[in-house]
């Protein structure tokens, strides 16, 4: 660890955090940030001088356990710690990631949790820190590693961070409107790559569909994304051990494109030298793509150098009237077949882990909950793989009923894990 005191700020290099993404009831940090302590705040920066996390010990902050995070595409997230025991049983983490773009009344009474006065005050303190660093750089000549780092911090104010996010989206040629739910296991710290755009679904409830249909990116486009991201992140790339392949139905891109991207990215991002233990590849798949997927595809995935490959399938319901109500193209028979195939793949492969989603909502036809209950209760062999994620639709009006239905499904699943799905994006 290397510590510098410059005027009233403290800069700490090489103070490594956790390497394994374990979940704790205290505000642990992961990876290798550069830390600045100033006015009872601890700011964690990446090696590009961009703020990533903020811890606060000042009196205005409700609890020192809450953390403010910023994604690489510039969304602020409040890692909320209230009701942490219930939170863990709901989402497999003691911290609920709250955003302004996706409201979950189960975890917050604020529709825009990031608009709370203490958050605004913390962000203003971040602005003041940037100003203070700029002042220090004018009055003092600071050489070496710390001087170089503070120069980077000084240019990364909130406006510059917005532009950097746009730059990342430009590299990708789009964005990931939703991350696969299994990415909660690495606190959503993933490097995004787009191997396909859109999906062929027309689901009425979906906020993430693009009307332009489904398209696979070519290898040239994928290679240029990988090269540009590796150049952009430089040394910071070591803070990642996970890649997510976008967009909504990356599984439909097929074995060749998935393998090409995964191998190329693994090598170019130096995943084997990551600060974190193990490595992960995440993607979404539609029911149709999953049912069509052959043994060859799963063998290709199993042979990749990543420790774990997570594929999340949007089953949504096992009840025909509900699927029709939702505008899904899959039938209840296909959903049941996909759920059964999920169990087989999870049993038959070591690295490949298939999870799935079902929706919850106040207006869904009667019989929906019972159909999911029956399906998840049919699994009798205990396994830690194959999590069932429950995704409350945005218009669910009763948090109490959603919670009740969620716990009902969790109780029905005697052999498989069931958790809530909170939307996060990049």
CB of 284 to ligand SF4, least distance (A): 8
Under rule CB under 6 A, residue 314 binds ligand SF4: yes
Under rule CB under 6 A, residue 361 binds ligand SF4: no
Under rule CB under 6 A, residue 209 binds ligand SF4: yes
Q: Which one among 238, 248, 279, 346 touches ligand SF4, defined by CB under 6 A?
A: 248
The first and second tokens of residue 235, run together, are 């040394």
**Helices (H), ranges, 234-272:** 255-268
In the shown chain, the binding pattern of residues 77 to 116 toward ligand SF4, with x for contact by CB under 6 A and - for none, equals ----------------------------------------
Give the burial string for 246-281 (b: 16+ CB within 10 Å, else e). bbbbbbbbbbebbeebbebbbeebebeebbbeebbb
Under rule CB under 6 A, residue 201 binds ligand SF4: yes
CB of 287 to ligand SF4, least distance (A): 9
Q: Examine residue 159 and say whether the peptide bond preceding it is cis (omega within 30 degrees of 0).
A: no
Cα–Cα distance measured from residue 373 to residue 107, given in angstroms and rounded to the nearest whole number: 24
CB of 208 or CB of 275, closer to ligand SF4: 208
Q: Which one among 78, 129, 199, 258 touches ligand SF4, defined by CB under 6 A?
A: 199
Under rule CB under 6 A, residue 286 binds ligand SF4: yes
# residues near ligand SF4 by CB under 6 A:
9
The first and second tokens of residue 163, run together, are 């532009």
**Helices (H), ranges, 52-91:** 84-91
CB of 225 or CB of 252, closer to ligand SF4: 252
Residue from 71, 72, 69, 30 nearest 53 by CA? 69
CB of 313 to ligand SF4, least distance (A): 10
Stretch that binds ligand SF4, among 201-209, 225-233, 269-277, 388-396 (CB under 6 A): 201-209
Cα–Cα distance measured from residue 387 to residue 375, given in angstroms and rounded to the nearest whole number: 13
Q: By 3-state DSSP, what share of the chain in percent is helix, strand and coil, each rounded to 5?
A: 40, 20, 40
CB of 241 to ligand SF4, least distance (A): 26
**Residues near ligand SF4, by CB under 6 A:** 199, 201, 203, 206, 208-209, 248, 286, 314
């Amino acid at each position: 660890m290397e510590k510098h005191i410059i005027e009233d700020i403290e800069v700490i290099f090489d103070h490594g955090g956790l390497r394994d993404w374990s979940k704790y009831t205290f505000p642990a940090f992961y990876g290798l940030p550069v830390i600045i302590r100033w006015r009872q705040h601890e700011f964690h920066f990446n090696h590009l001088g961009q703020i990533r996390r903020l811890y606060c010990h000042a009196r205005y902050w409700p609890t020192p356990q809450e953390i403010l995070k910023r994604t690489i595409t510039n969304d602020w997230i409040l890692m909320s710690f209230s009701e942490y025991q219930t939170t863990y049983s709901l989402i497999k983490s003691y911290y609920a990631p709250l955003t302004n773009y996706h409201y979950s009344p189960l975890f917050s009474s604020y529709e825009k949790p990031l608009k709370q006065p203490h958050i605004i005050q913390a962000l203003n303190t971040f602005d003041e820190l940037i100003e203070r660093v700029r002042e220090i750089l004018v009055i003092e000549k600071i050489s070496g590693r710390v001087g170089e780092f503070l120069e980077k911090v000084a240019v990364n104010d909130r406006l510059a961070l917005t532009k950097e996010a746009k730059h990342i989206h430009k590299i990708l040629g789009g964005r990931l409107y939703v991350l696969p739910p299994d990415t909660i296991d690495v606190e959503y710290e993933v490097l995004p790559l787009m191997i396909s755009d859109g999906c062929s679904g027309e689901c009425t409830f979906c906020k993430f569909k693009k009307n332009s249909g489904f398209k696979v990116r070519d290898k040239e486009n994928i290679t240029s994304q990988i090269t540009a991201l590796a150049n952009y992140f430089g040394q910071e790339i070591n803070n990642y051990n996970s890649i997510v392949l976008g967009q909504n139905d990356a599984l439909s891109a097929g074995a060749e494109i998935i393998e090409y991207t995964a191998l190329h990215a693994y090598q170019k991002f130096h995943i084997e030298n990551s600060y974190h233990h193990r490595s992960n590849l995440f993607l979404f798949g539609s029911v149709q793509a999953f049912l069509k997927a052959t043994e060859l595809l799963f063998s290709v995935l199993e042979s990749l150098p990543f420790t774990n490959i997570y594929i999340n399938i949007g089953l949504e319901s096992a009840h025909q009237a509900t699927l029709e109500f939702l505008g899904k193209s899959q039938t209840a028979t296909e959903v049941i077949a996909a759920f059964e195939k999920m169990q087989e793949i999870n049993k038959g492969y070591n690295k490949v882990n298939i999870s799935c989603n079902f929706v919850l909502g106040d207006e869904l036809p009667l019989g929906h909950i019972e159909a999911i209950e029956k399906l998840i209760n049919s699994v009798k062999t205990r396994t830690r793989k194959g999590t069932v994620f429950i995704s409350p639709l945005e218009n669910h009006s009763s948090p109490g009923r959603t919670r009740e239905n969620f716990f009902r499904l969790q109780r029905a699943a005697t052999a498989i894990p069931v958790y809530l799905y909170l939307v996060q994006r990049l």
